[in-house]
Chain A
Amino acid sequence: MPEQTFILNGKPVTVDVEDDVRVLWVLRDVLGVTGPKYGCGINVCKACTCHINGRAFNPCSVRVGDLKPNDRVTTIEGLADTADGELHPMQQAWLDNDVSQCGYCQPGQIMAAVALVKKVRREGREITEDDLDHIRNICRCGTYSRIREAIEQGARNM
């Protein structure tokens, strides 16, 4: 079985698994990292959203063999370490706004929110209502309004 190496939450990991297994299952089933959730497996629900080299990606739609040894994968478990403080400002904003209901979608929502803020900053602007309207992450508990408020707060503190 091929060896797969990448950097997970700041530490290099090596696993024996076939090239075409999607990263989501390598994280969850092989490495036991269960923060990223399964909601569809086809890059629709966004519950599995994580970061690769600081940008949002959906590990259900990436073959582990396509990761390079120096690719940095960050899951919700490693997000706090990418900023100062015990929690990432976006996680704190989630707590302050009591966003979660069942919580199943929320790791993905937070990872997507952080990437979105960084993306608009790269574009030299701040988050707009239109940006928020375009977030694809589903929340079947319907926490959308609180998500919007939390993103605005989180962005202010990022």
Chain B
Amino acid sequence: MSDPTMDSERTQAPASERSGFNRRKFFGYVIGGTTLIAAADIALAEPAKAAIPSPPQIPEIYDLNDLLTTATLPTANLITVTINEDGTASFALPRAEVGQGITTSTAMLIAEELDIPVEKVKVTLADARPELLFNQLTGGSNTTISTFTPIRVAAAVARNALLDAAAILLGDEVNRLITKAGAVLAPNGRSVSYGELAKHAAAPKTKKVEVELKDVSKFTVIGTEQKRIDARDAVTGRKVFTMDLKVDDALPTMLCRPPTLNGKPVKLLNEAEITSMPGVTDVAMVDTGVAVRARTFGQCIDAIRAMKVEWRDGPVAGESDEDIVRKLRQAEVPLPKISELGLDKLKLGPINLNLVKSIDADFLFYFRSNSALDTNAAIADVRSDRAEIWASLKSPIVAQQTIAQELGLPQNKVKVHVVQGGGSFGRKLFFDAALEAAKVSKAMGKPVKLMWHRADDARVGRMHPMATSRVRALYLGTQVLGFVQNHTSIETDFRHGLGELITAHVADLPTGLGNFGFAETIFALTQEIPYNFGVVNQTLVETDDRFNTGSMRNIYSPDVRTAAELVVDQLAAAMGLDPLTFRRKFLKDKRVLACLNKVAEVGKWGRPLPKGMAQGIAIHKEYKSASACLVEIDCRPETVGRDIPNAVTGPRVTKAVYAIDIGLAINPTGLRAQMLSGINDGIALALTSSMHLRDGHFLEASWDNYFYTRQWNTPPEVNIIVMPSDAKTPGGAGEAGVAASMAAVACAYARATGKVPDYFPINHRDPLAFRPKPFVPPVPASPTNGLKLTY
């Protein structure tokens, strides 16, 4: 799209201004064209101002979302709402929908300002738009926060242009007209639909106009319960994911991958045999393995299983969990001693350090997979002078740049289409499949539809890094004097754009952050201890970059929060206080406290439970949201030992109550869905799901190896409460349900068993609950006995 040239300023106030409400004015554009196209600069959001971050912790003043929002400012680029002649409005969202419901909430924002039914708003995902720089990154639960204003401005511009056109058509004054349900109505009862107006409202030349947004108190769509706009497609099988796209000649393609993590192929030893297999069209070696293209994916699997390949070992060959734990331990920095904490800064008067007691705790968190159900997949059509890519991508611009570089093409010769994803959990921040598909397509000289096998997606895909979290809490009588947390982690890979974004905006960060690395910056921008605990200090050290890691949903928070909340429970016990009473006494944030009180009331905190069952309660604050979770867990032997074939049963969370204050909730239905999702993630992280590294490779290769929460683990009773809020802006939701849930489950487990776990998930060191699948060949054969298993 070309830059708008302005030819006239519109100063006329919208009709609605007469209502006397104080509304916010913004400039937008009517774009020259044959139908009505209204636009707004996507950089319209206002970031928080940075301040010196002491004594409050940094996220209280300037958090990751402020950085993401700030990052949108320097780009002056437009998002557009188009009014079509069929009466619909269309909008290409420069973000990735992966299940989090942003197409639905975006449709609601447009419906609100445009006065059009939600189902008449068509939201698609924009192709990579390099001019948007950092503003096409879906991450950090930032979509709604950063697009809330610009999308509404564009819709409001469209509404005004429709009113102007209607005034001429209906022969009435603009300020006597109203808009309703996709039509403009005159006092005499005449009306004209947006569809009829679309052409008339089109502007011959682009012009800049001023609009005023609806006041929060006038919202009739935002804040109401709205079902997903793609629900019908999903339940009829019509929703299209990457693997469902039909692109000419893009035949099924898969890779035979090395037996050790990140090993390299040296030579395919039986190429002639493979190429003569049924359905196979092409074979090619790329840096990650040997690719095969065939008529069906089943024939790709058969070919992979028949391949004889010479491999070079990967960088962790021979190593196992214990070796990595040892490396982590070596990287840990000692926790400060009492005398080093600077307790004198608290101005408590003289303290007899000999009377200060300390609680030291040390937790280990194993590797976890963020594999989605929709495995890594991409379609690539690479020609000598151009390339076209389709994939679910949360950082499509970085993907485009990297692929262009890899192919030796100018960036504008690589077209990148963003497809809806079947889940992400941080996985689709990376473009591993898209890059690999591009390489394979180039090597074969043909279009490919590349799919990762489940076994590859689990074993070689991105992961939450292994980490330790050590806490030292100091208390004297009933006062907590200090709380120190040192988190030590295998390196988290942020090379998907978030890293570059930080580099580009170092100057915008609060004092002191500029010298940090990516990971430390993100840690500092997201972590916070929302209690009055005297001297508070949280730090991160990362080590070892040999693993395929990434920012799994909620990045550091679930582990950091779980470690902290377990120590909070220990502090409470040391002071003879119940976990709820203790938290009420020390919480410093009113919104968190309100959430805590809510879950305690709804979840009936303290109700009598049989021996072996217990409640747990925990809080979290992040992404401008506050939350609390109460769970009940059943650790009685008859429950733990219940038998379900090929399953990890174990302790059962029988009830979960979650309260979330996200500020303005655009769509409470969608918000509750995100929290339910977070609860199930938290349960898995605490109890059942992890990756085992043995002898240079991860063992888990299927959903019956990697035990994400299943129906037999999910709580039969769930209650999610969206807290009332008078905030005028939304907070982030995509990740806000994980941390408090994991922490509450861990606390409940500790109370039910009387034993505080020192590693997570709690079953990681149990005998393996499955027989590991072979590594050569790297993918299992599909069974043939399906007709014997019908029901």
Contact with A140, one of B233, B241, B296, B423 (Cβ below 8 angstroms): B423
Asked if A5 lies at the interface with its beta carbon under 8 angstroms from chain B, I say: no
Give 1 or 0 for each of A94-114: 1 = CB within 8 Å of chain B CB: 110011111111110010000
Q: Does B328 touch A at the CB level, under 8 Å?
A: no
Name the distance in Å between B303's Cβ and chain A's nearest Cβ.
12
Complex contact A35–B237 (CB within 8 A): yes
**A-B CB contact pairs (8 Å), 27 listed:** A24-B298, A25-B297, A29-B252, A30-B296, A42-B783, A43-B783, A43-B789, A44-B454, A52-B787, A55-B790, A57-B789, A58-B789, A61-B783, A63-B784, A76-B236, A91-B236, A101-B677, A102-B99, A102-B373, A137-B711, A138-B710, A139-B373, A142-B678, A142-B681, A143-B673, A145-B718, A147-B711
Give the CA-CA distance A107 to B231 in the complex, in Å.
Answer: 11
Determine if B147 is an interface residue (Cβ-Cβ < 8 Å): no
Is B423 a contact of A102 with CB atoms below 8 Å? yes
Nearest B residue to A64, CB-CB: B298
Also in contact, A135 and B703, with CB within 8 A (given A42-B780, A100-B231): no
Rounded to whole angstroms, the CA-CA distance of A30 and B791 in the bound complex is: 26
- A21-B279, A61-B784, A134-B644 provided; 13 other pairs, C-beta below 8 A? A18-B299, A35-B237, A41-B297, A45-B702, A45-B703, A57-B786, A60-B786, A76-B235, A87-B236, A94-B234, A102-B374, A142-B677, A144-B714
CB proximity of B632 to chain A, nearest CB, Å: 15
Q: Which residue of B has the minimal Cβ distance to A54?
A: B790
Given A40-B702, A43-B783, A58-B786, A144 and B297 contact (CB-CB distance below 8 Å): no
Q: Which A residue sits closest to B780, measured CB to CB?
A: A42
Given contact pairs A95-B235, A104-B241, A37 touches B676 in the complex (Cβ within 8 A): no
Is the CB of B329 closer than 8 A to any CB of chain A? no
Tell me if A7 is interfacial: C-beta within 8 Å of chain B: no
Whether the pair B784, A62 counts as a contact (CB closer than 8 A) is yes
Q: Does A127 touch B at the CB level, under 8 Å? A: no
Say if the beta carbon of A141 comes within 8 Å of chain B: yes
Across the interface, which residues of A come within 8 angstroms of B708, CB to CB? 138, 140
Give the residue among A104, A106, A134 with the most B Cβ atoms within 10 A: A104
**Residue B116 CB within 8 A of the other chain:** no
A contact residues around B791 at 8 Å (CB): 55-56, 115-116, 119
With A98-B228, A100-B230 already in contact, the answer to whether A59 and B786 are too (CB < 8 A) is: yes
Least Cβ distance of A98 to chain B in Å?
4
Q: Which residues of B sit under 8 angstroms from A91, Cβ to Cβ?
A: 235-236
Q: How far is the CA of A116 from the CA of B715 in the complex (A)?
A: 21
Q: Cβ of A121 < 8 Å from any Cβ of B?
A: no
Q: Which of A22, A75, A110, A116 has the most CB of B within 10 A?
A: A22
**Proximity bits, B286-313, A CB within 8 Å = 1, else 0:** 0000000001111101100000000000
Q: Are B790 and A52 in contact (CB under 8 A)?
A: yes
The residues of A with any CB-CB pair to B shorter than 8 Å are: 17-18, 20-26, 28-30, 32, 34-45, 47, 52, 55-63, 66, 75-77, 80, 87, 91, 94-95, 98-107, 110, 115-116, 119, 129, 132-148
Cα(A59)–Cα(B785), bound, Å: 10
Q: Closest chain B residue to A147 by CB distance?
A: B711
Closest to A105 in B: B373
For B374, give the chain A residue with the smallest CB separation.
A104
Enumerate chain B interface residues (CB-CB to A < 8 A).
98-101, 227-228, 230-241, 243-244, 246, 252, 278-279, 295-299, 301-302, 371-375, 420-423, 425, 451, 453-454, 644, 669, 673, 676-681, 702-704, 708-712, 714-716, 718, 779-787, 789-791
Q: Which of A32, A60, A142 contacts B676 (CB 8 A)?
A: A142
Q: Is the CB of B711 within 8 A of A29?
A: no
**Known A95-B231, A136-B710: A21·B237 in contact at CB below 8 Å:** no
Q: Whose C-beta in chain B lies nearest to the C-beta of A91? A: B235
On chain A, the residues within 8 Å of B100 by CB distance are: 101
Given the complex, which residues of A lie within 8 Å of B301, measured CB to CB? 41
A135: chain B residues at CB < 8 Å are: 711
CB of B782 within 8 A of CB of A37, answer no
- Please tell me which one of the listed residues B302, B371, B678, B786 contacts residue A43 in the complex, with CB atoms under 8 A apart: B786
CB distance from B317 to the nearest CB of A (A): 26
A104/B423 contact (C-beta < 8 A), A95-B227, A142-B714 known: yes
Name the B residues within 8 Å of A139 (CB-CB): 373
Of all chain B residues, the one with the shortest Cβ separation from A40 is B454
Residues of B within 8 A of A110 (CB): 235
- A29 and B297 in contact, given A62-B787, A103-B99, A104-B423 (Cβ under 8 angstroms): yes
Query: Given A30-B296, A102-B374, A106-B235, are A143 and B784 also a contact pair (CB < 8 Å)?
Result: no
Q: Which residue of the partner chain, among A34, A41, A62, A133, contacts B244 with CB atoms under 8 Å?
A: A34
Docked CA distance A97–B671 (Å): 14
A44-B703 in contact given A21-B296, A34-B243, A62-B784 (Cβ < 8 Å) = yes
Contacts of B714 in A (CB 8 A): 142, 144-145
Q: Of the candidates A52, A58, A94, which one forms a contact with B235 in the assembled complex, judged by CB atoms under 8 Å apart?
A: A94
Chain A hits for B790, CB < 8 A: 52, 55-57
CA distance A25 to B251 in the complex (A): 12
CB distance from A123 to the nearest CB of B (A): 11
**Min CB gap B449→A, angstroms:** 9
| Cα-based distance from A87 to B238 in the complex (angstroms) | 13
Asked if A143 and B234 make an inter-chain contact with CB atoms under 8 angstroms apart, the answer reads no
In the complex, the answer to whether B296 meets A29 with C-beta atoms within 8 Å is yes
CA distance A76 to B237 in the complex (A): 6
**Are A80 and B711 in touch, CB under 8 angstroms?**
no
Residues of A within 8 A of B704 (CB): 44
Point out which of B712, B714, B786 has the most chain A C-beta atoms below 10 A from its C-beta.
B786
A140 and B372 in contact, given A44-B702, A61-B789 (Cβ under 8 angstroms): yes
Q: How far is the CB of A124 from chain B (nearest CB, A)?
A: 16
Q: Pick the residue among B227, B372, B644, B781 that contacts A98 (CB under 8 A).
A: B227
A59 and B241 CA atoms in complex are apart in Å by 19
Q: Indicate if the CB atoms of A80 and B676 lie closer than 8 Å.
A: no
